[in-house]
Amino acid sequence: RGSAKGAADAGALFCAQTLANTPLEDIARASSGPKWFQLYYAKDAGVNRELMQRAKAAGCTAIVFTVDLEWAGNREADRRNGFAFPETLPFPNVPNAPVGATLAELFQVFKRDLTFGDLEFIARESGLPVVVKGVLTPENARECVAHGAAAIQVSNHGGRQLDTVPAAITALPGIVEAVGSSVPVYLDGGVRRGVHVFQALALGAKAVAVGRPTLYSLALGGAPGVTSMFETLKTELALAMKLSGCATVDDISRKFVT
């Protein structure tokens, strides 16, 4: 099964998504830090195999298998605005991606009937630890572990897929309890402040992923903006720990959250 723990301890950076508009190799070369690859699973097994081989060759140490985007959600704003990807915007990590596609058209490339057999395929073909991203129920978490997941990432895809599903932080405790100490559990979604990191750690997460704040900071301040954002989160987390009487991250426990 392997372990994703080392990458998480080092502060893993997703080197690329399948949907990135830059070849994953170029993104990997831009960072000397640890890297993961977030895989959107294609219908063509050969495409998935090739992508994972490229990610591994580029130095990625884990595959993040995204399981909650088999279908594009009800994104009314996109339809209202007539959103489509510009024809000049390539998808170098998505072979045969349609040019100038809408999101729904692009997603026709991806498999829509994912199974636990697909998880086993990824683990077997990549030879890397697999983090299953998009889990919201204890039952799914247990099944993922039984089929080879090295870690679980609790996520509702930023609330952009199925309306009214619970927040990731709401689903987190039940999933942590379900998998116990067998694999680490991570969380993404809604992390905007250091105190949110504190709450996730208190409820059993081993690490959190930060998405939108990274993009906002990049848009406003470039690379220095992203650095500033992470330093702010770090400072806020340290302050939350001081005010709670936690000398180390290991001191953060569920007793601090009601």
**The two three-digit tokens of residue 110, written as one number:** 């991806």
Give the integer Cα–Cα distance in Å for 139 and 3. Answer: 21
**Which amino acid is present at 235?**
T
What DSSP state is assigned to residue 110? B
* Catalytic site residue from 35, 133, 142, 157: 157
Q: What is the CA radius of gyration of the chain?
A: 18
Distance of alpha carbon 38 from the chain centroid: 7
Q: Are 222 and 200 in contact (CB under 8 A)?
A: no
**The two three-digit tokens of residue 170, written as one number:** 């709401």
Instruction: Give catalytic status of residue 196 as yes or no.
Output: no
Distance of alpha carbon 74 from the chain centroid: 21
Sign of CA dihedral 215, 219, 222, 227: negative
Q: How many CB atoms lie within 10 A of CB 103?
A: 16
Sheet of strand 151-154, all strands in order from the earlier edge strand to the far edge:
13-17, 35-40, 60-66, 130-135, 151-154, 185-188, 207-209
Q: What is the largest CA-CA distance in the chain?
A: 55
Residue with tokens 């040019």: 99
Q: Catalytic residues, which ones? A: 157
